[in-house]
Structure 1
Amino acid sequence: MQTSGSGPVASGPVALALDFGGTKVESALVDGAGRLLPGSRFRAPTGPSASSEGLWESVASVLDAALAAVGDRELIGVGIGTAGPIDERAGLVSPLNVPQWRGFPFRDRVVEWLRDRATPAPVTLRMDGLAITLADHWIGAAGGVDNVMGMVVSTGIGGGLILGGATVSGPTGNAGHIGHIEVGGFDVRCACGGTGCVEAVASGPRSVAWARSQGWTGNSGEQLATAYTAGDAIARAAVRRAGTAIGRAIASAAALTDLEVVAVGGGFSRVSPDLFGFIREAIDERAEFGFVKKVQVVPSGLSDEGPLIGAAALIHRAAVVTGSAEPQPLGSST
């Protein structure tokens, strides 16, 4: 298990943030200003080779480590941002890239973990895309804006929605799953079963795979970024292709929800600053729809701490999180 920490010393009540994905799970303590408590960030591997209980053991290890760092501070809740799909009401998760967990009772396992440690704190579980959107709305690039979509472009593509100043997660918790909007012009099969999903076109691994199919010899998004900067024609075509697909997906989402700002983060979103220009070009194709063209697409204002800050926002910003504004007793969850 790896540890890290940064920023000024946290003060006042803290939330225990948990971010679960297909390659790692992280925890940290976050204060009411969105700052990570130094020395409270812990990481453990997940991945396809672990068993279901092995995955839970990784989760429990980082939870235990973060809880030990609480000291005499008040712990006001546990916020969980997780890859999906999820069943928000039941607290179940079935991450697409973690086949060992199908209908896994993630929220209840964390509630049990707290009960075993006699630690009174509510638990809130939401999609990781919604958590990252909350973080940007709280202290990032979308502060003060009431109609926002957060978007993560990395190994996969995820997102979340804040409309009218409140989160929108839908009856199952999967609203805002922008990665699985189908975009025109791309006949590519997606792991979800769809064809032309933006994740299947524009994620980091899929962009690298497309470039390799065109004769490029690199192996990673980082190498693709280097090749793009050096002027490699295939790398440049791959980044333009990704930007076009992302822009079309954002335009569709803006047409549906009348968005003001889309904050885009994730490792592959930094492949080149030109990516945002290609996104803008695709949005501006909706020439007759001013309400679509008005949407601002900006880089996320968050560092790699963003997913943890977003998970903590599920607790610290509970009034913005639909259905979780009221305090809850020990063992309860939302």
Structure 2
Amino acid sequence: MSELFAIALDIGGTKVEAALVDGHGAVLAGSRHRAPTGRERSAEQLADSVRTVLDGVLALIGPDAAVSPASVLGVGIGAAGPVNLAEARVSPLNMPVWDDYPLSALVADIVHPVVPGIPVTLRLDGLCITLAEHWVGAASGHDNVLGMIVSTGVGGGLILGGRTVPGPTGNAGHVGHLEVGGHEDACPCGGSGCLEAVASGPRTVAWANGQGWVGDTGEQLAAAVAAGDPVALRAVERSGRAIGRAIASAASLVDLDVVAIGGGFSHVSPLLFEHARAAVAERATFGYVTRLQIVPSALSGEGPLIGAAALIHRAEMVG
């Protein structure tokens, strides 16, 4: 097989996934592996999950295997944050036992015996998603992009002038912790009124519960919205407008062409996008803000892996 590959690793609050991704952004069939993460797991259990998925990928690499070691360019890691790029460590809020954890070193120890010396590149998962959207997704053809994930949390990443903007610590673009006006919802980061605390899937469901709606999941809320439930409709409006306000604030600061939004809760209803766009449109005096497009992700559930692989395949863009 002559194609060049990246090993992609995506680490989130509920699962870790790994796969081989080619230079066109396609996941190699049969290479995708998943294992659980989660707040309840110990640091070593989380590390074991990383080993499990990487071992599954590495089983496909070797002199007599499907993929030659010489055709593997590197490992790209997208991780929940915050991250510490200088020391290649992570401190994910939703996995507190991994406070300042040396993730890149762990991955290198697992991978290098099979593929010696290849680079291991770590970035915030939201930045990886943005790279994926720019490469093969909804932001293709645009060089000033905010990528967003609205799911259990709210994450993001920035591409400006055709290059990623990680910031000095690697945490630039963390749009989920912009504070949105009119809300005092407490956030685990220590702030109040953060977008994640207002508009994430679990927080939106919790708000609806507080208004009398009975249900437990974003999927149930979506069904209630489709059925015209007034509380569910207000909950989605509240979330969508908060997303729009955060986007408008970000665009006022850095000037954007497009915002691509993915993640499980982004599918709750098309109304989520309508309310976000309406909130941005209120900045009528700032044409450079209202010109931006807010679009749904064009990627499937493979998007985070594609984005992690882009750290290797699109290395020229990675700041």
TM-score norm. by structure 2 comes to 0.96
What is the aligned partner in structure 1 of residue 5 from structure 2?
A: 14
Alpha-carbon distance in 2 for matches of 1:22, 1:226: 25
What is the aligned partner in structure 1 of residue 111 from structure 2?
A: 114
Structure 2 residue matching 1:100: 3-state secondary structure = helix
Shift of 1:114: 2.5
Give the aligned residue type for 1:237. Answer: R
Shift of 1:72: 3.2
What is the aligned partner in structure 2 of residue 210 from structure 1?
A: 207
User: Do the aligned residues in 2 keep the contact of 1:183 with 1:197 (CA within 8 Å)?
Assistant: yes
> 2:32 aligned with 1:32, yes or no?
no
What is the aligned partner in structure 2 of residue 327 from structure 1?
A: none
Alpha-carbon distance in 1 for matches of 2:214, 2:115: 54
What is the aligned partner in structure 2 of residue 58 from structure 1?
A: 49
Give the aligned residue type for 1:80. Answer: I
> 2:139 aligned with 1:142, yes or no?
yes
Shift of 1:274: 1.2
What is the aligned partner in structure 2 of residue 174 from structure 1?
A: 171
CA distance change for structure 1 residues 166 and 118 in 2, over 3 Å: closer, same or farther? closer
| Superimposed CA distance per residue, residues 97-123 of structure 1 (whole angstroms, 9 cap, x where no aligned partner) | 001100000011112223343533111
Alpha-carbon distance in 2 for matches of 1:311, 1:187: 34
| Superimposed CA distance per residue, residues 255-314 of structure 1 (whole angstroms, 9 cap, x where no aligned partner) | 000001000000100100111110011001111111110111000110000000000000
Structure 1 residue matching 2:18: 3-state secondary structure = strand
CA distance change for structure 1 residues 118 and 307 in 2, over 3 Å: closer, same or farther? closer
Alpha-carbon distance in 2 for matches of 1:196, 1:160: 20
Q: In structure 1, list runs of 5 or more residues that go unmatched.
A: 1-9, 323-334
Give the aligned residue type for 1:27. Answer: A
1:235-250 equivalences under 5 Å are: 235-250=232-247
Give the counterpart of 2:162 among 147, 158, 165.
Answer: 165
Structure 2 residue matching 1:44: 3-state secondary structure = strand
What is the aligned partner in structure 2 of residue 184 from structure 1?
A: 181
Alpha-carbon distance in 2 for matches of 1:150, 1:214: 31
Give the counterpart of 1:45 among 36, 52, 60.
Answer: 36
Structure 2 residue matching 1:209: 3-state secondary structure = helix
Shift of 1:11: 5.8
Q: In structure 2, list runs of 5 or more residues that go unmatched.
A: none
CA distance change for structure 1 residues 118 and 255 in 2, over 3 Å: closer, same or farther? closer
User: Do the aligned residues in 1 keep the contact of 2:54 with 2:111 (CA within 8 Å)?
Assistant: no
Instruction: Report percent identity of matched pairs.
Output: 62
Shift of 1:223: 0.2
Alpha-carbon distance in 1 for matches of 2:120, 2:96: 24
| Superimposed CA distance per residue, residues 36-90 of structure 1 (whole angstroms, 9 cap, x where no aligned partner) | 0000000000112221111101101100111112333311100000000000111
What is the aligned partner in structure 1 of residue 80 from structure 2?
A: 83
Matched pairs, number: 313
